Amino acid sequence: MTSNQVLSEVEFNVVGKRPVRPDGVDKVTGRAQYGGDTNLTGTLQAKVLRSPHPHARIKSIDTSKAESFPGVRAVITAKDLPLASLSKEELGGDYTALKFASDHMMASDKVLFKGHPVAAVAAINAHVAQSAMDLIDVDYEVLDSVVDVREAMKPGATLIHDELRTNDMGETADQPSNIAAHMRYEIGDVTKGFADADLVMEKEFTTATVHQGYIEPHNTTAFWNSDGQLNLWTSTQGSFQVRATVSNILRLPISKVKVTPMEIGGGFGGKITAYLDAICSILSKKTGTPVKALMSRTEVFEASGPAPASWMRVKIGVKNNGTMTAVETEMAMDAGAYPGSPVMQAIVCAFACYDVENGRIDGYDVVVNKPKTAAYRAPGAPQAAFAVESLIDEICLNLKIDPIEFRLLNAAKEGTRRIEGLVARKIGFVECLEAARTHDHYKSKVEKGTGRGVAAGYWPNRGFQSSVVMTVNYDGVVSLIMGSVDIGGTRASIAQQTAETLGIAYEDVKPTVVDTDSIGYTFITGGSRTSFATGLAAISAAEDVKQQMISRAAKIWDASEDDIEFVAGMISHKSDEELKLSFKDLARQTATTGGSISGRSSVDPTGEGNGYAVHIADVAVDTETGKTDVTRFTAIQDAGKAVHPSYVEGQMQGGAVQGIGWALNEEYFFDDTGKMLNSSFLDYRMPTTLDLPMIDTVIVEVANPGHPYGVRGVGEVAICPPMAAVANAVTGVTGHRMNSLPITPGKILEAGWENGKS
């Protein structure tokens, strides 16, 4: 019944195969070193005192009792952050951004969310630090708070930042507001488009605050050496990002900060922001010893960066045959305590699946008294997809058109101009829809008491900077050095691309992720960029190696480089058949022909190939209790080329299941003032093994022309379709449109009661 298919266009020797990951044995034996496993001699443990109030002014902080508690070595507050003593004039243009970053790490004047750090203690162990922390007296003046994104937008709403003024399409507003930014993108003539429609439907949708839910809590160990060098060992998706944040907040030159990325226990976008690093650094400077901090699960929920809650209004006009004539949406996303929600990505992704001539999108970035949101897998896109794909389902029901036929009719293709202005390159959305239509799941009968939902999703994928260095050892094994943190199997996928390019075996490439002093700048692992961009860097570095190997062969054979070729791991003379050396043979001779060979490359590619996905969900509903069960689920996605199909399937399945959780049960419960009530895995209900079926996958491969092996990137888009797919399935059983996430049993019951049938 269950199956995983790969629809390949092109086969390679190593790319597309399924070797065991290089980090695998260490991870199944407990030997892999995660951030929390760091243990330097004399390490102190830090605990962070956090605000119990979502919005309050700090009147005073008395740390004296904590400081004299036995076993305590240092206590800090925001006064210990360098920004506190710098004036606006001294800092110049970056003041607001830096003040926000510094205050986010530790509040100086106001706390803006429950969990906001106000002080920190370093002590001989975590228990002592905790006890001492409880002795810190903070005098707060509690302020009114604003929690809901729509409430925060209203004129007269409680202001979170006194000086925040809306950036309204480039113009700065006169009056302060919680709306940090308003943006609008438009194409064609929307009024005319709606006038041309036979059917216009419009609905509002909301989604709740959700968390990435990585199992490893945030952690950091800092050691500020007496020579002024600051070393950090941390769990991060971007070691260079941590370096930048810490050097900015602590006013240090970047070369004074070295960040070693440890093995990372999940991130999904949530481990880009550096929460503990500057705090531990200052504590280390004060104590002269290494300082380590590990967040509790409650701290992770309350004080890291969840994904925004959102409100969206979507309007779509169609002809009777299903052709879309106009679309319009307004989307407001809660950024949390500081500006920076992913509403721009929501704008980019909202209608990117469709070829629509007329469209307008308005987006609002809004601050509220909640933790500052962070990236979460395809940030912004899942919320937008939920709203748009739900309304499309409603239209299909209305017009009695098959949902896949509708999407095929309106599908974006190469050359489609999107509302934000970009033109689609070669994409595989139609191929995904075709694979869905012909899939056994879609052709099967829908069981009684079960509904079937279909939805699509889009994520642009990313390029950005990556650096790779590789060294040929004398035994022909290539040491592959990179700055990209491995979060989902990229050591394997980059090693495969290296081996493919060099024509050697996968086992002959040894990948290592290194610290910020040991490799050139490399952007975060995220946005579905690493296998693409770092892959390109590896391919380019491998080409560098190949060229040097040719030079060495030329030297050995006293021939011209032009007469030598490197094909499939063999270096040979084009005209003299006798002259040929395998990669390994030549590697053995590098010592005597000029020394070791190293290839290197730093890239900043722009040829990323956009990602599309189509999901099919069967959901059973117990209409008497509102209980839902996902009984069958199929994820179809264009990977361009799946470098390691098992790991691509893993991304598709993992993304789909996070989406199922987002659809059905995951949400932050806040009280009226913005205090989170369910900050544990018991009450923040992520799916367990028992809540899921096997997740079938179909990898579609429409090669990305921007990559030699056709790689697009796969991590993000898998989380975009599930919410609407599940919602559409529930609607199929209950007859009620579920327009608010999560679709809890309580909401299903209430929808029934409102419609008079319980």
Partner 1 sequence: MPTVTQVQTTLNGEVVNFLCEPRQSLLECLRDILGMTGTKEGCNDGNCGACTLIMDGRIVNSCLVLGVEAEGKEITTIEGMASPEGLHPLQQSFLENAALQCGICTPGFLLASKGLLDKEPDADEGRIRHWLAGNLCRCTGYDKIVRAVLQVSKAK
Partner 2 sequence: MEPFDFLSPSSIDEAVQTLASKGNQARIMAGGTDMLVQMRAGRGTAPFVVDIKDIPELNEVSYDASKGLTLGAAVPCYRIYEDKTLSDAYPGLMDAASLIGGIQIQGRASIGGNICNAAPSGDSIPIVIALGGICNIAGANGTRQLPVEEMCTAPGRNALEEGEFLVSIHFPAPQANSGANYLRFIPRNEMDIAVAGVGSSVQLDASGQNFVSARIALASVAPTPVFAKEAGDSLAGKPVNEDTIQAASELAQSAAKPISDMRGTVRQRTHLIGVLTRRTLNNAIERARGA
Q: Rounded to the nearest whole angstrom, what is the least distance from the CB of residue 127 to partner 2 in the complex?
A: 6
Task: Please state, in angstroms and rounded to a whole number, the distance separating the CA atoms of residues 564 and 574.
Answer: 6
CB of 264 to partner 1, least distance (A): 6
Partner that binds at residue 151, options partner 2, partner 1, none, CB closer than 5 to 8 Å by kind: none
How many beta carbons lie within 10 A of that of residue 638, not counting itself? Answer: 30
Task: Give every CB contact of residue 51 below 8 A, 6+ residues apart in sequence.
Answer: 107, 111, 113, 114, 115, 116, 117, 118, 138, 140
From the list partner 2, partner 1, none, partner contacted by residue 744 (C-beta under 5 to 8 A by kind): partner 2
Task: Choose among partner 2, partner 1, none what residue 666 binds, the Cβ cut-off being 5 to 8 Å by kind.
Answer: none
Q: What is the three-class DSSP state of 300?
A: helix
Q: Select the residue interacting with partner 1 from 113, 364, 557, 647 (CB under 8 A).
A: 647
Q: Where does this chain touch partner 1 (CB under 8 A) — which range of 250-258, 347-355, 433-441, 691-699?
A: 691-699
33 binds partner 1 (CB under 8 A): yes
Q: Is 649 in the site for partner 1 (CB under 8 A)?
A: yes
Q: Which of the choices partner 1, partner 2, none does residue 746 contact, using the CB cut-off of 5 to 8 A by kind? A: partner 2
Least Cβ distance, residue 229 to partner 2 (angstroms):
35
Subset of 378-397 contacting partner 1 (CB under 8 A): none
Count of positions on this chain that bind partner 1 (CB under 8 A) = 59
417 binds, among partner 1, partner 2, none (CB under 5 to 8 A by kind): none
Q: In angstroms, how far is CA 116 from the centroid of its own chain?
A: 23
Backbone angles phi, psi at 133, to 5 degrees: -60, -35
Phi, psi of 520 (to 5 degrees): -70, 170
Contacts by 154-163, CB closer than 8 A, 24 or more apart: 158/55, 160/55, 160/112, 160/337, 160/367, 160/368, 160/369, 161/367, 163/96
Task: Pick one of 13, 158, 296, 323: the residue that binds partner 1 (CB under 8 A).
Answer: 296
Q: Which is nearer to partner 1, 646 or 673 (CB)?
A: 646
Q: What is the DSSP string of 207-249?
A: E--B----SSPPEEEEEE-TTS-EEEEE--S-HHHHHHHHHHH
Assigned token pair, 373? 């949101």
Identify the H or E element spanning 416.
none
In the block, tokens 């002592």 appear at 128
Contact by Cβ (8 Å): 485, 264: yes
* Residue 23 near which of partner 2, partner 1, none (CB within 5-8 Å, type-dependent): partner 1
Q: Which does 521 bind (CB under 5 to 8 A by kind): partner 2, partner 1, none?
A: none
Using alpha carbons, select from 529, 551, 516, 539 the residue that is nearest to residue 468. Answer: 539
Applying CB under 8 A, the residues found at the interface with partner 2 are 127, 130-131, 134, 624-627, 629, 664-665, 669, 677-678, 681-683, 685, 687-688, 690-691, 744-746, 749-750, 753, 758
Distance, CA of 252 to CA of 742 (rounded, Å): 44
Between residues 129 and 190, which has the closer beta carbon with respect to partner 1? 129
Binding to partner 1 (CB under 8 A) within 480-499 occurs at 487-489
- How far apart are alpha carbons 587 and 474 in whole angstroms? 5
What is the C-alpha end-to-end distance of the chain, expressed in Å?
Answer: 34
DSSP symbols for 13-68: SSTT--PPPTTHHHHHTT---BGGG---TT-EEEEEEE-SSSSEEEEEEE-HHHHT
Based on the shown chain and the rule CB under 8 A, indicate whether residue 512 belongs to the binding site for partner 1: no
Query: Which of partner 1, partner 2, none lies near 297, with the C-beta cut-off 5 to 8 A by kind?
Result: partner 1
Of 13, 24, 563, 584, the one binding partner 1 (CB under 8 A) is 24
The nearest distance, CB 691 to partner 1, in angstroms, is: 8
Nearest-angstrom CA–CA distance, 452 and 633: 9
646 binds partner 1 (CB under 8 A): yes
Q: How far is the CB of 701 from partner 1 (least distance, A)?
A: 18
Scanning residues 116 to 135, which ones bind partner 1 (CB under 8 A)?
125, 127
Q: Is 682 in the site for partner 1 (CB under 8 A)?
A: yes
What are the start-end ranges of the E strands in 544-610? Answer: 564-567, 570-573, 580-582, 597-603
Contact set for partner 1, span 214-233 (CB under 8 A):
214-217
Distances (CA, A) of 231 to 260, 350, 402, 515, 698: 8, 42, 58, 10, 44
Two structure tokens written together for 332: 């407001």
689 binds partner 1 (CB under 8 A): yes
Residue 213: contacted member of partner 1, partner 2, none (CB under 5 to 8 Å, by partner type):
partner 1
Instruction: Verify binding: residue 653, partner 1, rule CB under 8 A.
Output: yes
Tell me how far apart the alpha carbons of residues 734 and 215 are, in angstroms, rounded to a whole number. Answer: 34
Q: How far is CA 289 from CA 44, 147, 652, in A?
A: 7, 40, 43
Cβ at position 192, least distance to partner 2 in Å: 46
The CB-of-222 to partner 1 minimum distance in angstroms stands at 18
Least distance from partner 1 to the Cβ atom of residue 703, Å: 23
Q: Residue 238 binds what, of partner 1, partner 2, none (CB under 5 to 8 Å, by partner type)? A: none
Segment interacting with partner 1, rule: CB under 8 A, options 94-102, 384-392, 654-662, 699-707: 654-662
Instruction: Point out which span in 303-311, 328-336, 667-675, 678-686 binds partner 1 (CB under 8 A).
Output: 678-686
In the complex, the smallest distance separating the C-beta of residue 623 from partner 2, rounded to whole angstroms, is 11
User: If binding is defined by CB under 8 A, does position 1 make contact with partner 1?
Assistant: no
Query: Rule CB under 8 A: which residues touch partner 1?
Result: 18, 20-21, 23-25, 27-34, 36-37, 39, 70, 125, 127, 212-217, 263-268, 294, 296-297, 487-489, 646-647, 649-650, 653-658, 680-682, 686-690, 692, 694-695
